[in-house]
Structure 1
Amino acid sequence: MASPERERDAAAPRREVLTWLTDMDGVLVHEEVPIPGAQEFIEALQRSGLGFMVLTNNSIYTPRDLRARLLGSGIDVPESAIWTSALATAQFLHDQRPGGSAYVVGETGLTTAMHDAGYVMTDRDPDYVVLGETRTYSFEAITRAIRLIDGGARFIATNPDPSGPSQDGKLPATGAVASLITTATGRAPYYVGKPNSLMMRSALNRIDAHSETTVMVGDRMDTDIIAGLEAGLRTVLVTSGSTPPEQVGTFPYRPTVVHESVADLVDLVEQWAHADPEPPRGPAGQ
Structure 2
Amino acid sequence: MTYNGYLIDLDGTIYLGSEIIPAGKRFVESLQKKDIPFLFVTNNTTKTPETVAMRLREEFSLTVEPTTIYTAALATVDYMKDAKKGSKVYVIGEAGLIQLILKAGFIWEEKQPDYVVVGLDSEVTYEKLMKATLAIREGAMFIGTNPDKNIPTEKGLIPGAGSLIALIETATQQKPVFIGKPEAIIMEKALGQIQLEKSEVLMVGDNYETDIQSGIKNGIDSLLVLSGFTPKEAVPHLPEAPTYIIDSLDEWMF
| Fold-level similarity (TM above 0.5) | yes
Report SS of the residue matched to 2:22: coil
| Residues in 1 aligned to 2:69 and 2:56: alpha-carbon distance in whole angstroms | 11
Q: Secondary structure at the match of 2:163?
A: helix
Rounded Cα–Cα distance in structure 1 between residues aligned with 2:40 and 2:234? 25
Q: 1:239 to 1:168 in 2, by over 3 A?
A: closer
Per-residue deviation, 1:169: 5.4
Rounded to whole Å, the distance in 2 between the matches of 1:47 and 1:123 is 48
Task: Give the fraction of aligned pairs with identical amino acids, expressed as a percent.
Answer: 36
Report whether the alignment pairs 1:26 with 2:15: no
In the TM superposition, residue 173 of structure 1 has moved relative to its aligned partner by 2.6
Q: For 1:205-244, what aligned pairs fall within 5 Å after superposition?
A: 205-244=192-231
For this pair of structures, how many residues does the alignment match?
Answer: 253
Q: Which has the larger radius of gyration?
A: 1
Q: Which residue does 2:73 correspond to in 1?
A: 86
- Say if 1:65 and 1:53 are closer, same or farther in 2 by CA, change over 3 A: same
Give the aligned partner of residue 88 of structure 2. Answer: 101
Q: Distance in 1 between matches of 2:217 and 2:150?
A: 24
Query: How far off is 1:106 after superposition?
Result: 0.8
| Cα distance, 1:198 vs structure 2 | 2.1
Structure 1 residues 223, 170: closer, same or farther in 2, change over 3 A?
Answer: closer
Give the TM-score of the pair, scaled to structure 1: 0.83
Q: Give the superposition deviation at 1:199.
A: 1.4
Counterpart Cα distance in 2 of 1:42 and 1:249 = 28
Q: Gaps (5+ residues) in structure 1?
A: 1-12, 270-286
Report the Cα distance in structure 2 between the residues aligned to 1:200 and 1:165, rounded to whole angstroms. 22
**1:272 corresponding residue in structure 2:** none
SS where residue 217 of structure 1 aligns?
Answer: strand
Seen in structure 2, the aligned counterparts of structure 1 residues 209 and 62 have a Cα distance that, compared at 3 Å, is same
Deviation at 1:94, TM superposition (A): 1.0
Decide whether the 8 Å contact of 1:38 with 1:75 is kept in 2.
Answer: no
For 1:17 and 1:171, locate their aligned partners in 2 and report how far apart those are by CA, in whole Å: 34
Residues 1:164 and 2:151 aligned together:
yes
Kindly indicate whether structure 1 or structure 2 has the higher relative contact order, using CA contacts under 8 Å at least 6 residues apart. Answer: 1
1:70 aligns with 2:56: yes
